[in-house]
Amino acid sequence: MAEAEKQRQAFRLEVNEDIVITLEGIGRSMGATLVDLSEGGCRLRTRLCIPLAQLQFKWKGPKSQIKLWGEMVGIRITEQKQTEFGVRFEMPQNEKDILVQELHEIQRRMAFKTEPTQSGDGVGRAKRKAYRAPIRFPISYKLKDGMHEQVAIAADLSIGGVMIITSETIAEGSEVELDFVMPVEAVDLGGEQREVVENTPFGQRKVKKLVPVRPFEPIHCKAKVVKRIGASPEGTAYGTSFFEMPAFTTEEVARFVHAFQLTQLRKAAAAADA
């Protein structure tokens, strides 16, 4: 796979934030705009045309400030007569992992902000802004006032709803009860690095440890069928929206989606470095 194709696999966050960059070997600092950012690199914009060089800058994520550094790998002049260039990060893998965690936390917070809890036509439009994990697993459902549970396929999952594929015809607006177990094999059980406090003979100290992912609880919840998506040989796909979801259940789904995203980002970073 070509390097450009590998790079496009990674999640890229739009930032558009003013920063200060330092050009290595020249010792010159200057203002720039951080246009976007991923675990593999970033895009910067400046008013001056500068030579290709190694550079570094600091970026403040939701949990910590990170020092990022790498090599300029491309340059172009915009219609506004500004210089844009790409940077390929060259930090050690443990530092890239910290960046991945910060990007993940931003995604998680964005998902919580954009996923509504009320029902209605506006729910579907807002819900689609949230990250949906493209993961397939068995799911069972029962129509409101129905007598029997039906077995279906869950095709993706977010904190706002899940797409189900079933051989049964379901009317839009129908309410269903869902039961499913999120596939733990789809996530990296190594978890993420977190800062914890340890008691030592010299007193308390903060250290970074890899916190494992704890098992996920089975999910039982209510959902409304908001849209018929289409038919396939497997059945008809329907988009659903969770409602009256208990806080603990919402957190369990969010925790799985977060772990799934982190796993995908790590895989993309490993592919880009291969």
Cα angle 52, 57, 59; round to 5 = 135
State pLDDT tens for residues 112-171. 544 444 444 444 433 445 678 899 999 999 998 888 899 999 998 999 999 999 999 999
From 3.30.70.790, 3.40.50.720, 2.40.10.220, 3.40.50.920, which CATH number describes the 103-273 domain? 2.40.10.220
**pLDDT(248) > 60:** yes
Percent of the chain with pLDDT over 90: 32
pLDDT at 198 exceeding the cut of 60 = yes
pLDDT at 130: 64
- Residue 121's pLDDT is 42
Domain(s) of CATH 2.40.10.220: residues in the chain = 3-91, 103-273
Q: What does CATH list as the number for 3-91?
A: 2.40.10.220
Cβ proximity of 46 and 78 under 8 Å: no
Mean pLDDT of the region 177-189: 89
- Between 210 and 100, whose confidence is greater? 100
pLDDT, tens digit, for every residue of 31-83? 999 998 988 899 999 888 777 789 999 998 888 889 999 999 888 887 777 88
Q: 3-class secondary structure for the chain?
A: CCHHHHHHCCCCEEEEEEEEEEECCCCEEEEEEEEEECCCEEEEEECCCCCCCEEEEEEECCCCEEEEEEEEEEEEECCCCCEEEEEEECCCHHHHHHHHHHHHHHHHHHHHHHCCCCCCHHHHHHHCCCCCECCCEEEEEEECCCCCCEEEEEEEECCCCEEEEECCCCCCCCEEEEEECCCHHHCCCCCEEEEEEEEECCEEEEEEEEECCCCCCCEEEEEEEEEEEEEECCEEEEEEEEECCCHHHHHHHHHHHHHHHHHHHHHHHHHHHC
Q: Are 222 and 176 in contact (CB under 8 A)?
A: yes
Mean pLDDT of the chain: 81
